[in-house]
Amino acid sequence: MPSRPDVLALADRVGILREYRDVTGRAVRTTDATRVALLGAMGFDASSERRARRALTELEQVDGARLLTPVSVQTPRPSRAAHVELRCPEGVRAMNWRLEVTLESGGAVELSGARRRIEGRKALKLRLPADLPLGYHHVHLEAQAEGRAISARQSLILCPQSCWTWREAIGERRVCGLWTHLYTLRSRRNWGIGDLTDLARLAAWGASCGAEFIGLSPLHAIANRGAGISPYSPISRLFRNPIYLDVERVPEFRGSARARKRVGSPGFRQRLDRVRRMPSPESGGEVPYDLVISLKEEVLRPLFAEFKHRHMARPSARGRKYARYVEAGGRMLEDFATFMALADRLSFRRRRSADWRNWPAEMRDPRSPAVAQFKARFADDVEFHRYLQFETDRQVDDAHAAAQTAGMTLGLYHDLAVGSDGGGFDTWAAPSATRHQASPLFVGGATMGAPPDPMARDGQDWRFPPLHPMALRETGYDYWIRLLRANMRGGGMLRIDHVMGLFRQYWIPEGLGGRRGGYVRFPSDDLLGILALESRRSRVIVVGEDLGTVQPQVPRELKRRGILSTRVLHFERTRRGAFRKPGSISDHALLVAGTHDLPPIAGYLSGMDIRRRVIGRTLLDPAPSADVDLRAVRTLMRERRRDCDMLMRRLAAEGLLTPLQAEGLLLGDFSIFLTPEGKADTSRLPILVDAVHRFLARSPAPLVAVSLEDLVGEEIPLNIPGLPPESGFCWTRAMRVALEKLVGDAGIEGRVSRVAAELRGRR
């Protein structure tokens, strides 16, 4: 008998799991304290048994009063037609009903009937015609029940059985692609950060080497100031970051004398030369986000003025395209542009990240009179940010088209981050569920994360507010649909970061720490069904990042839904730690050597990530702590040496390294790959990089991504999990090799071409 049965019953009802199994298989039970805290975050007072019982009763009463659920997501099959499930009101014994299904295409289907004997609360399953098309439909029910008229509405979403698959996209071929991070690219012509013209040029070069796609970290909107620089902690996952615009490719640039005069002025050229030099290895290799966005916006504003004059004040093809874009974006685009205009005045001018929770109270509600007055007063500022999104989307679309024209069948491979910043746009503009549930779309009082594992013994707190699974349903999954459409646009592939979050999420109650979190169940069938529908409509292959604590059914369900898994060389091990033979790696996955949370091959060998983690922790917390224990560091370095030894053995066993090459590492304490100063010896790294990627190509995985970081011999990791952006060690490092040198390097071109050729030879 549980100590708090009513709390447990309420937790079960809203999807808080009783226990989970950690990476070792050990069962970890959710405590009552965690349950109460998570229930509170979801909007239910469970501080006592009586209050928990009352909350459960109220929840059941709301459900009991419904004739239809707010949304129904179904995957029709020949043996199981689509249907509408009609719930009968309490105490009703007879009912006449009329049902109208308004199709997405505009047509309608009508059904009617009567039931004279209804037993208890048994639902009536009303079968719909078998030829209903897949898509988003609306159900309207009118009924007469014992003299009273009742009505209900429902969103009916009919989905395909699987996503657009790699076989449908590329047949039985196996292909490779490049994987990079746009902000790291350096070129002689960009403005201190990789831009969408650089991306198009890289794609053309990659296609000439045989690559079929180019993977990117998220292009989501971020603050570009202060600590707001992580692509995985965006202010919005619905909109993109205009810092990636090539300003000189904006169509208005040629016709704007004011903008060209600004760019040609000595003062501007001096500042531009400065930011172009800053990302170089000689100056520390850091991308100056705040300086770059300031320079770009300084020129983009006169370009917007030119656009208004030429295309908004009078009819033009570009003006009409913009009008259609604004209409399609609707209120959400208007709200985002308003948020950014507010952030310009309330946050960015003070070099702060955009956090609406620090704004004046009257500006925290997008529907407040004060915000309406702001929009009217600063209408040009709001329109400017709409224009930036329009042009950014246009340049992304052009880069994708250029990649495909150059020969990349799949084009751009986008990344959808697992969450967004709690002080960003998505939470500011989030609607509340209005039909039957008062819960807001985002949960307060808890954050998303991961349970303890060998890489994070105290768990991980990602600091993202979770989406409320009940509110997602109440709003007809509108936010999820918008997310998918926004991130599938301008690409042929989409990576879902932490895809396990579609099944369950680890929530950490505020103040309890990563060890005392619990899992909350999510409506995976509904979310995956909508994902399949949007994937097929966009013809986008979906890849799920399924690393970490993974339920056994997740890989099976991903495969059934046509979603590729992610496999990383570092984690393809036997129980004893040895690297697996390539033939034992999954044949339904995208395979990579590492991720953005792991060091490049050179940094893996030298332990650069371990050293930077220690330095970063020391800078953040100068007081002695376990994180800076030198004995622990030595242990980590010994473990890394062992892992490197095992990797060399596997590559040698596959004939990809000679015994002498492998032994040089085994006996020389990394000496074959390190200089006397402890730096990576990049002149020898190509041997290993080539061996690693040819090893990946020998697996049965249909897609292999080759990291640009490894090709150019980067040692410094992009991100070190556990260190915040303010440490200075995350998301700032630019690439050590400029794009012009990269695309002219015959050795790098040869390494990509060899991987592509090996994959072509192994269908």
Mean pLDDT, residues 150-158 taken together = 94
Q: How much is the pTM?
A: 0.93
Q: For position 455, what pLDDT does the model report?
A: 63
Residue range 430-449: average pLDDT? 70
Angle CA 360–366–369, to nearest 5: 75
Beta carbons of 614 and 627 less than 8 angstroms apart: yes
Least confident of 43-57, 164-178, 297-311, 710-724: 710-724
Q: How far apart are CA 270 and CA 267, in angstroms?
A: 5
Q: Dmax of the chain from CA atoms?
A: 91
Instruction: Evaluate whether 470 touches 42 at the Cβ level (below 8 Å).
Output: yes
Task: Spell out the domain ranges in the chain.
Answer: 5-64, 76-158, 219-399
User: What does the angle CA 162 – CA 163 – CA 164 come to, to the nearest 5 degrees?
Assistant: 125
Residues 321-358 pLDDT 10s: 999 999 999 999 999 999 999 999 998 877 677 899 99
Q: What pLDDT sits at residue 640?
A: 87
Task: Determine contact, residues 691/627, Cβ cutoff 8 Å.
Answer: no
Check residue 163 and report its DSSP letter.
P
| H or E segment to which residue 105 belongs | none
Q: Average pLDDT, whole number, for the chain? A: 89
For the segment 519-561, what is each residue's pLDDT rounded down to a tens digit? 999 999 999 999 999 999 999 999 999 987 788 889 999 999 9
Q: What is the pLDDT of residue 434?
A: 34
- H-run or E-run covering 688: helix 685-697
pLDDT at residue 560, rounded to an integer? 96
The arithmetic mean of pLDDT across residues 379-407, rounded, is 98
Structure tokens at 639: 């473990």
Distances (CA, A) of 115 to 32, 69, 111, 122: 45, 20, 13, 12
Between these two residues, 611 and 160, which has the higher pLDDT value? 160
pLDDT at 625 over 60: no
Strand ranges in 664-739 using DSSP code E only, listed in sequence order: 703-707
Which pLDDT score, from 0 to 100, does residue 667 have?
36
Greater model confidence, 88 or 100: 100
- Tens-place pLDDT, residues 62-78: 888 888 999 999 999 88
**Model pLDDT, residue 175:** 95
Q: Please, which pLDDT band fits residue 407 given cuts at 50, 70 and 90?
A: very high
| Residue 383: both structure tokens together | 């329109």
- pLDDT at 682 (0 to 100): 56
Q: Is 522 left (phi over 0), alpha (psi -120 to 50) or beta?
A: beta
Query: From residue 602, how far is each of 179, 241, 680, 695 by CA, in Å?
Result: 16, 30, 6, 17
CA distance 744 to 184: 18
pLDDT at 685: 81
CB within 8 A of 156, min separation 6: which ones? 71, 72, 74, 82, 84, 101, 136, 137, 138, 139
CATH number belonging to domain 76-158: 2.60.40
Measure the CA–CA gap between 557 and 499, rounded to whole angstroms.
Answer: 11
d(CA 70, CA 763): 46
Q: Would you state the pLDDT for residue 722?
A: 72
- Angstrom distance (rounded) from CA 374 to CA 377: 5
Extract the runs of DSSP E, i.e. beta strands, from 528-627.
Answer: 541-544, 565-568, 589-592
pLDDT of residue 629: 63
**Which residues are CB-neighbours of 650 under 8 A, at least 6 positions away?**
578, 579, 580, 581, 695
Determine the Cα–Cα distance for residues 683 and 674; give it in Å rounded to an integer: 10
Q: DSSP class of residue 657?
A: S
Tell me how far apart the alpha carbons of residues 610 and 599 are, in angstroms, rounded to a whole number.
Answer: 9
Structure tokens at 599: 């060091």
Q: H-type helices in 94-248, by residue range?
A: 166-170, 196-208
Q: Provide the terminal-to-terminal Cα distance of the chain, rounded to the nearest Å.
A: 57
Provide, rounded to the nearest whole percent, the portion of the chain with pLDDT above 70: 90
Of the candidate ranges 385-394, 397-406, 724-733, the one whose mean pLDDT is the lowest:
724-733
Q: Strand 411-416 vs strand 175-180: parallel, antiparallel, or unpaired?
A: unpaired
Q: Name which of 273-277, 585-589, 618-622 the model is least confident about.
A: 618-622
* pLDDT tens string 450-498: 888 766 677 888 889 999 999 999 999 999 999 999 999 999 999 999 9
pLDDT for 684: 72
* pLDDT tens digits, one per residue of 717-754: 998 887 777 777 789 999 989 999 999 999 999 999 99
More confident residue, 699 or 641: 699
Q: Find the range with the poorest average confidence among 308-312, 572-576, 618-622.
A: 618-622
- Flag whether pLDDT at 664 surpasses 60: no
- Residue 125's beta-bridge partner residues? 85
